A and B are shown apart, each in its own frame.
Chain A
Amino acid sequence: MKDNKIGMHTFMALPAFFLYAVFFLYPLTKGIGMSLTDWDGISAAKFIGLNNFIKFFQDKRAINDIRTTLLFALGSAPLLNLVGLAYALLMDSKIKGKGIARMIIYLPAVISPLIMGYIWYLLLQPSRGFLYHLMENMGQADSFLNWTAKYSSSMLVLILVNVWQYAGMTMVVYLAGLQAIPVELYEAAKMDGASGIKSFRYVTLPLLVPSIRINVVTNIIGSLSVFDIIMSLTGGGPGYATESLSIYIMRMCYGSKTGYSTAVAIIMFFLILVPVLISMRLTRAKSLE
């Protein structure tokens, strides 16, 4: 065919690329330049080299935000995968009403995480929330822990709410992976004397690697760039303790530290890139075995 003849078809990628270049690639490169300045968003920017990056690592709040972001991801990503896989294994059995159950479990994932955070806040807020009043009703008000006052309990609530909301999403991907495994393989394993845990280890798990890869990578990216749920559930509190890097970037930008906030974004970029590349490498090697 006349592939090489130039025509309209030659330029069909250009509209998409133009949009991508203007609204993604250009700001991305512009951000690198901005990160080397002290720009406040209004007055003339001055080149200050790597000072923003040095400032970042000297700022206690910034270091705390890195810790919070990493802790949130370390809690969320593995837990989401374990819970999602457990749900999927349960739902993979021959039971009635599976479709409805799958729908219900997936439901929270389509709702805005910001709104979901507010809903949980109505439920869990100390001395005002539904759960508090319920305990009060039963004469147990004193044993309600004021979780918003402490860093550890605030983090725990954030992680659990996040896992609650998105377990359905990981479940659906794992379920698709499980259903793609041919039954013959389980039968063959059974003939070889492998059953239960052994067949899970040697048949299910290796064939589930593509699903694991998708879930691990999406959950790492999602949890390291967490924004909405923290905004509505703790607002970053107590103080700035549960503030994530995304929220820090926004607040710095609003605080007229435009140049500095782009430097934080670059640091965050590497913070996400490294675990994503590692997990992709690990799952690639595994799928070849």
Chain B
Amino acid sequence: MNTFKKMLIYLCVAAICLLCLIPFVILIILSLNTPQRVFYEGNMFLPDFYFQNFAEGWVKSNIGTAMINSMIITALAITIIIIFCSMAAYTIARFKYKFNTLIFAIMISCMMIPGIINTVPLYTLMIDLHAINTLWGMALVCATLALPQSTFIFHGFIKSLPRELEESAIIDGCSWFKSFWKIVFPLLKPASASIIILNGFGIWNNYAQAVFFLQDSKKHNVPQALSVYFQQFAGAKWNLMAATAVIAIVPVIAAFLLFQKNLIRGLTEGALKG
């Protein structure tokens, strides 16, 4: 009975994993077919190994530029999030100023509002600021959307650190501000890692904001570049679409495999504390 139950669990888990992987396997098969491939002839699961698709997709889709753009946006946004939110969380966690409490209360109560709600007025603001079609503008928008949750996670983390850590430095004549950067900030690494991972993928993959703020093809991020590239085919040229999609998801999957242990830990810790 027990071994039977275990077998059943293995079987279920294997089936689920297969279900998760099949679309990727088929995508790779499609990306390796020649444009002339006639689908209903021969073994569909045996591709033509036509690697030319990747070269052609890379050149025509502008995805190289888009990846650099996505990288700049993500790095910039993450840097802003880590610096601004850790600072804010520190003063909120340590000092009970009225405006600290107010700022925290405002952020927490707005945490649940998805970005799409204020995108249109933000769009007009971005035009006034000449921030449309700029990477820094997009980075600021993405950073802003992540501010409340990141401040919240840092806040919880700093609260669990003993105050005595900085107090001895204060007695030695160090200012609170300096002791934050020297003593507390280095200790925030685990929280920072969770925040980077929690937001990094989302910012890289952002489409709902990019569609408004990155319309210039030179400033497209990865999803935006891919959607523009795909729309011109209207469903034809499957080999090129598949190859470009493979190119687009490879960096994300690589980053995921690299950070997956941290990701799942960060995700659960960040989530459960929230």
Contact = CB atoms under 8 A, between A and B. Distances in A.
Interface of A: 1-3, 7-13, 15-17, 19-20, 22-28, 30-31, 34, 41, 87, 90-91, 93, 95, 97, 101-108, 110-115, 118-120, 122-123, 125, 128, 130, 133-134, 136-137, 164, 168-169, 172-173, 175-177, 180, 210-211, 214, 217, 221, 224-225, 227-228, 231-232, 246, 249-250, 253, 258, 261-262, 265-266, 268-269, 272-273, 276
A113 B129 CA distance: 30
B187 interface: no
A214 B175 contact: no
Given A12-B90, A31-B118, A268-B116, A123 B23 contact: yes
A173 B120 contact: no
Given A20-B107, A268-B116, A173 B272 contact: yes
Contacts of B23: 108, 119-120, 123
Contact of B151 (A16, A103, A211): A16
Contacts, number: 273
B19 interface: yes
A188 to B, nearest CB: 22
Nearest to B19: A164
Contacts of A228: 207-208, 223
Given A24-B110, A130-B30, A115 B20 contact: no
Contact of A26 (B125, B223, B248): B125
Contacts of B122: 23, 27
B226 A272 contact: no
A231 B227 CA distance: 9
Contacts of A107: 20-21, 253, 256
B83 to A, nearest CB: 8
21 contacts: A8-B175, A12-B87, A12-B90, A12-B91, A16-B87, A19-B80, A19-B84, A25-B106, A28-B110, A30-B125, A34-B121, A102-B264, A114-B205, A114-B227, A122-B30, A128-B238, A133-B44, A134-B44, A221-B112, A232-B227, A249-B120
Nearest to A235: B231
B176 A112 contact: no
A90 B248 contact: no
Interface in B128-164: 140-141, 143-145, 147-148, 151
Nearest to B167: A1
A246 B116 contact: yes
B103 A112 contact: no
Contacts of A249: 116, 119-120
B274 A214 contact: yes
Contact of B39 (A10, A133, A253): A133
Given A115-B249, A246-B208, A265-B120, A16 B85 contact: yes
B186 interface: no
Contact of A115 (B44, B223, B264, B271): B223
B51 interface: no
Contacts of A28: 110, 113, 117-118, 121
A248 B142 CA distance: 22
Given A13-B103, A112-B222, A30 B121 contact: yes
Contacts of A224: 114
A136 B39 contact: yes
Interface in B188-244: 201, 204-205, 207-208, 211-212, 222-223, 226-227, 230, 235, 238, 241-242
